Chains A and B, each alone.
Chain A
Amino acid sequence: MKIKQISVFLENRKGRLFDACSILGQNGVNIRACTIAETETFGVLRIVVDKAEQAVEVLKDNGFVANITSVVVAEVADEPGGLAKILKTLSDNDVNIEYMYGFVEKFTDKALMVFRFEDTDRAQKILQQNGIKIINQEEVEGL
Chain B
Amino acid sequence: MIWEKHVECMDQEQLSKLQSQRLKELVTYVYENNPIYKERLDSSGVTPDTINDISDITKLPFTTKMDMRDSYPYGLFSKPQKEIAEIHVSSGTTGNPTLVGYTRKDVALWSNVMARALCCAGGEPGDIIQIAYGYGLFTGGLGFHYGALEMGLTVIPTSSGQTARQLKIMQDFQPRILACTPSYALYMAEAAKEAGLDPRESSWEIGIFGAEPWSESMRNEIEDSLGLIATDVYGLSEIIGPGVSQECTYKDGLHIFSDVFYPEIIDPETGEQVEPGEDGELVITTLTKEGIPLLRYRTRDIVSVNYEKCECGRTSPRVSKIKGRTDDMIVVRGINVFPSQIEHVLVGMEGIGPHYQIVIDREKHSLDKVDILVELDEKRFSDEIKQLHGLETKIKKEIESILSIGVTVKLVEPKTIERSMGKAKRVVDKRNA
The residues of A with any CB-CB pair to B shorter than 8 Å are: 5, 7, 9-12, 37, 39, 41-42, 44, 46, 63-67, 69, 98-99, 116
Q: A9-B376, A41-B392 are in contact. Are A65 and B414 (CB under 8 A)?
A: yes
Q: A9-B376, A11-B416, A65-B376 are in contact. Are A41 and B410 (CB under 8 A)?
A: yes
Contacts of B191 in A (CB 8 A): none
Selected contact of A11 from candidates B392, B408, B413, CB within 8 Å = B413
Contact yes or no, A42 B388, CB < 8 A: yes
Please measure, in the bound complex, the distance between the C-alpha atom of A2 and the C-alpha atom of B412, giving whole angstroms: 30
Contacts of A69 in B (CB 8 A): 383
Contact yes or no, B383 A42, CB < 8 A: no
Q: Does B394 contact A (CB under 8 A)?
A: no
Contacts of A46 in B (CB 8 A): 383
CB within 8 Å of A: which B374-394 residues: 376, 378, 381, 383-385, 388-389, 392
> How many Å from the CB of B190 to the closest CB on chain A?
27
Q: Does B15 contact A (CB under 8 A)?
A: no
Among all A-B residue pairs, the 7 with the closest Cβ atoms:
A7-B383, A41-B410, A11-B413, A65-B381, A69-B383, A11-B412, A37-B385
Residue of B nearest to A69 (CB): B383
Contact yes or no, B413 A9, CB < 8 A: yes
Contacts of A99 in B (CB 8 A): 384
Contact yes or no, B389 A65, CB < 8 A: no
Contact yes or no, B385 A44, CB < 8 A: yes
Selected contact of B411 from candidates A41, A63, A98, A116, CB within 8 Å = A41
Residue of A nearest to B383 (CB): A7
11 A-B residue pairs with CB within 8 Å: A10-B413, A11-B411, A39-B388, A42-B410, A42-B412, A63-B415, A64-B413, A65-B378, A66-B381, A69-B383, A99-B384
Residue of A nearest to B408 (CB): A41
> How many Å from the CB of B390 to the closest CB on chain A?
12
Contacts of B392 in A (CB 8 A): 41
Please measure, in the bound complex, the distance between the C-alpha atom of A141 and the C-alpha atom of B412, giving whole angstroms: 32
Contacts of B388 in A (CB 8 A): 9, 39, 42, 44
| Chain B interface, >50% SS class | mixed
Selected contact of A98 from candidates B384, B389, B412, B416, CB within 8 Å = B384
> How many Å from the CB of A101 to the closest CB on chain B?
12
Please measure, in the bound complex, the distance between the C-alpha atom of A11 and the C-alpha atom of B384, giving whole angstroms: 15
Please measure, in the bound complex, the distance between the C-alpha atom of A31 and the C-alpha atom of B378, giving whole angstroms: 23
Contact yes or no, B412 A67, CB < 8 A: no
* Interface 1/0 per residue, B388-403 and A, CB below 8 Å: 1100100000000000
Please measure, in the bound complex, the distance between the C-alpha atom of A33 and the C-alpha atom of B206, giving whole angstroms: 61
> How many Å from the CB of B394 to the closest CB on chain A?
14
Contact yes or no, A67 B383, CB < 8 A: yes
> How many Å from the CB of B75 to the closest CB on chain A?
52
Please measure, in the bound complex, the distance between the C-alpha atom of A4 and the C-alpha atom of B148, giving whole angstroms: 64
> How many Å from the CB of A5 to the closest CB on chain B?
8
CB within 8 Å of A: which B350-378 residues: 376, 378
Contacts of A63 in B (CB 8 A): 413-415
Residue of A nearest to B409 (CB): A41
Please measure, in the bound complex, the distance between the C-alpha atom of A44 and the C-alpha atom of B385, giving whole angstroms: 7
Please measure, in the bound complex, the distance between the C-alpha atom of A46 and the C-alpha atom of B376, giving whole angstroms: 18
Residue of B nearest to A71 (CB): B383
Please measure, in the bound complex, the distance between the C-alpha atom of A91 and the C-alpha atom of B231, giving whole angstroms: 59
Please measure, in the bound complex, the distance between the C-alpha atom of A66 and the C-alpha atom of B414, giving whole angstroms: 11
Please measure, in the bound complex, the distance between the C-alpha atom of A67 and the C-alpha atom of B382, giving whole angstroms: 8
Please measure, in the bound complex, the distance between the C-alpha atom of A5 and the C-alpha atom of B383, giving whole angstroms: 10
Contact yes or no, A39 B415, CB < 8 A: no
Among the interface residues A39, A99, A116, which one has the most CB atoms of the partner chain B within 10 A? A39
* Interface 1/0 per residue, B418-431 and A, CB below 8 Å: 00000000000000
Residue of A nearest to B416 (CB): A11
Contacts of A42 in B (CB 8 A): 388, 410-412
Please measure, in the bound complex, the distance between the C-alpha atom of A65 and the C-alpha atom of B381, giving whole angstroms: 7
Contacts of A116 in B (CB 8 A): 383-384
Please measure, in the bound complex, the distance between the C-alpha atom of A64 and the C-alpha atom of B415, giving whole angstroms: 10
Residue of A nearest to B381 (CB): A65
Among the interface residues A9, A67, A116, which one has the most CB atoms of the partner chain B within 10 A? A9
Residue of A nearest to B378 (CB): A65
Contacts of A41 in B (CB 8 A): 392, 408, 410-411
Please measure, in the bound complex, the distance between the C-alpha atom of A7 and the C-alpha atom of B412, giving whole angstroms: 15
Contacts of B385 in A (CB 8 A): 37, 39, 44
Please measure, in the bound complex, the distance between the C-alpha atom of A10 and the C-alpha atom of B410, giving whole angstroms: 12
Contacts of B410 in A (CB 8 A): 12, 41-42
Contacts of B411 in A (CB 8 A): 9, 11, 41-42
> How many Å from the CB of A126 to the closest CB on chain B?
21
Q: A9-B376, A39-B389, A42-B388 are in contact. Are A65 and B383 (CB under 8 A)?
A: no
Contacts of B376 in A (CB 8 A): 9, 65
> How many Å from the CB of A142 to the closest CB on chain B?
24
Contact yes or no, B384 A65, CB < 8 A: no
> How many Å from the CB of A82 to the closest CB on chain B?
26
Residue of A nearest to B412 (CB): A11
